């Protein structure tokens, strides 16, 4: 579907740029009259664009265009003198040409006027466009159109007259397109929850849908408003908006559309960043102290393998401590909310999936604040990884797939020797060996990432009871971020406010990492491409 749309758009652009003006001169030569040439050019353009929209992909594009032009001229010539409902000069929107000599100045005039005509054909409303197409391209009579649309013949004539006047008025006006039509903004996204169908990501992997979402963010807009602001033809805008509506990224309110997820603009992002960075050094210091105290009390509660370095455990526990604090505060602020707790629910989507989504306009923050968190559960245990957005550590050695996680968990849990594995399991082991684990001298799997024996896939409690300052600090930040977000969001987004607050609070993970790397508490890997820092297996 996407590939065919791209081919269609490419052919329409090629027609507009390379053939439209040539067809005008062809029509002018055939008709000998600039007004008739204008009418005939429009008819030919409509037929070509409609055929492409219906899926026609010609083998020889140029030959196909000229065949349509010749056929359309033949029909026009036959019907010119016997069409009963002829168009009078009162509703002709054509432009005047002083003479038909193809001088350089005339060519420039033709080029500019044809550009205006193409522009207005793109923006005519569907109610009018459909009648124009049916009348001129499909050669239906006024009577047939009226019958098909359950309208009077007078109403059809009025709409046809109005459509031509709209085109004329549009050509005579100077449209001011929005900045995104020529200077689109960059936008990134973050999601939470499972997305087995590829949504929302496959809906936002091109520039046009991104710009539509930016324009409709906190700004209910009609299709016509979106079309003009972005400089995108209305027929294509209708298609793009429908796809985003089906993907549950746009909500319809009457004849207007608005994003049903929040896109943070530059000012909002900077305001939240400054709020989170206040007292962050003290927050990082206290997190460092509580982690060291817990490790000194019972290191084996967080990792039962003594060869795993303390630095490796710290890279897991620092962001994990932040997550625990956030979840504690979420549950306290909204005990009945959707998102509190590790088993919290996310917004239900039309396709049955549950996920949250948030967008970000690009802004130069003083530091990278992105830290992702991926994970999944298998029959024998679970896997989790904190993905550091800085220090070239996002990919590291790669993440194990579900087969690799299941094999590692089952080997550890059941104390299996590698020699006892099936041939298929041994092939899986080959992709694990040297990345996440190694082989002991007596043939057992020895993990090189943190392994925690945990009930229901969760690690033991990391935070002691006496953490009043940390809890109060995150509580204050929760309320500050909520106030900032509400200032920048439309009321329709407030129903999922807790999700957006949580997503912004997660920036504290990376802030703490930066602080503690700077202090020397966290050591960076010598080779990030071989590192597995932040990864953990949870054995039930």
pLDDT beyond 80 at 425: yes
> 491 near 305, Cβ under 8 Å?
no
Q: What is the pLDDT of residue 340?
A: 43
- The percent of residues in the chain predicted with pLDDT above 70, rounded, is 81
DSSP annotation string for 319-368: HHHHHHHHHHHHHHH-TT-SS-STT---PBPTTS-BEEEEEEE----SS-
Name the residue among 55, 80, 79, 56 with its Cα closest to residue 68.
56
Peptide bond into 269 cis (omega under 30): no
More confident call, 497 vs 540: 497
| Distance in angstroms (rounded) separating the CA atoms of residues 83 and 135 | 12
Model confidence at 318, pLDDT cuts 50, 70, 90, reads very high
pLDDT per position as a tens digit, 230-261: 777 677 788 889 999 999 899 998 999 999 88
Condensed to tens digits (0 to 9), the pLDDT of residues 17-45 reads 778 778 877 787 777 676 677 778 878 88
* Fold designation for 180-260: Arc Repressor Mutant, subunit A (1.10.10)
Query: Looking at residues 371-391, what average pLDDT do you find?
Result: 91
Length of the chain: 540
Residue that has been written with the tokens 């960076």 in this structure: 524
Residue 437: beta bridge partners?
A: 433, 447
| DSSP reduced 3-state for 443 | coil
Q: pLDDT at position 194, please?
A: 77
Comparing 200 with 96, the larger pLDDT belongs to 200
Indicate if the pLDDT at residue 431 is higher than 70: yes
Q: Where are the domains of the chain?
A: 2-175, 180-260, 266-377+384-396+463-539
Of the candidate ranges 104-108, 123-127, 342-346, the one whose mean pLDDT is the lowest:
104-108
Per-residue model confidence (pLDDT) at position 517: 97
Residue-level pLDDT at 377: 87
What is d(CA 62, CA 67) in angstroms, rounded to the nearest whole number? 9
How many alpha carbons fall within 13 Å on the CB side of residue 516? 26
pLDDT in tens, 497-527: 888 999 999 999 999 999 999 999 999 999 9
Which three-class secondary structure state does DSSP give residue 538? strand
| Mean pLDDT to the nearest integer, 252-273 | 91
| Cβ pair 298, 329 in contact under 8 A | no
pLDDT given for residue 82 in this prediction: 52
């Amino acid at each position: 579907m996407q590939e065919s749309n791209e081919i269609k758009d490419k052919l329409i652009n090629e027609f507009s740029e390379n053939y439209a003006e040539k067809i005008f001169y062809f029509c002018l030569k055939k008709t000998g009259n600039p007004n008739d040439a204008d009418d005939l050019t429009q008819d030919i353009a409509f037929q070509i664009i409609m055929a492409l929209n219906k899926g026609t992909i010609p083998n020889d594009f140029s030959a196909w265009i000229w065949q349509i032009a010749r056929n359309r001229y033949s029909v026009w010539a036959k019907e010119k003198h016997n069409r009963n409902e002829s168009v009078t000069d009162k509703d002709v929107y054509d432009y005047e040409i002083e003479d038909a000599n193809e001088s350089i100045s005339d060519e420039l005039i033709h080029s500019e006027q044809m550009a205006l005509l193409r522009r207005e054909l793109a923006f005519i409303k569907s109610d009018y466009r459909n009648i124009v197409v049916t009348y001129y391209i499909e050669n239906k009579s006024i009577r047939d159109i009226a019958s098909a649309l359950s309208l009077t013949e007078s109403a059809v004539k009025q709409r046809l007259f109005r459509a031509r006047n709209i085109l004329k008025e549009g050509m005579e006006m100077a449209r001011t397109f929005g900045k995104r039509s020529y200077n689109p903004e960059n936008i990134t996204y973050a999601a939470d929850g499972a997305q087995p169908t590829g949504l929302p990501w496959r809906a936002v992997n091109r520039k046009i849908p991104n710009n539509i979402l930016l324009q409709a963010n906190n700004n209910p807009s009609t299709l016509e408003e979106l079309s003009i602001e972005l400089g995108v033809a209305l027929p294509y805008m209708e298609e793009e908006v429908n796809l985003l509506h089906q993907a549950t990224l746009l909500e319809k309110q009457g004849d207007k559309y608005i994003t049903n997820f929040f896109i943070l603009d530059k000012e909002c992002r900077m305001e939240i960043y400054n709020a989170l960075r206040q007292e962050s050094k003290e927050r990082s210091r206290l997190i460092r102290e509580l982690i060291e105290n817990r490790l000194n009390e019972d290191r084996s509660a967080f990792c039962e393998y003594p060869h795993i370095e303390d630095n490796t455990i710290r890279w897991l526990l620092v962001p994990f401590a932040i997550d625990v604090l956030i979840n504690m505060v979420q549950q306290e602020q909204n005990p009945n909310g959707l998102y509190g707790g590790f088993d919290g629910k996310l917004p239900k989507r039309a396709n049955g999936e549950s996920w949250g989504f948030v967008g970000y306009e690009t802004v130069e923050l003083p530091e990278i604040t992105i830290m992702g968190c991926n994970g999944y559960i298998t029959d024998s245990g679970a896997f989790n990884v904190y993905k550091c957005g800085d220090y070239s550590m996002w990919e590291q050695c790669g993440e194990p797939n579900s087969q690799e996680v299941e094999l590692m968990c089952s080997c550890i849990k059941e104390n299996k020797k590698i020699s006892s594995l099936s041939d298929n399991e041994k092939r899986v082991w080959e992709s694990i060996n040297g990345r996440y684990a190694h082989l002991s001298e007596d043939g057992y799997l020895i993990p090189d990432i943190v392994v925690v024996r945990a009930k229901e896939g969760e690690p033991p409690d990391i935070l002691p009871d006496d953490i009043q300052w940390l809890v109060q600090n995150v509580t204050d930040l929760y309320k500050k971020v909520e106030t900032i977000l509400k200032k920048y969001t439309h009321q329709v987004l407030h129903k999922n406010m807790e999700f957006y607050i949580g997503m912004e609070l997660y920036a504290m993970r990376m802030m703490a990492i930066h602080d503690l790397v700077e202090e020397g508490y966290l050591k960076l890997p010598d080779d990030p491409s071989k590192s597995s820092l932040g990864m953990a297996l949870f054995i039930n």
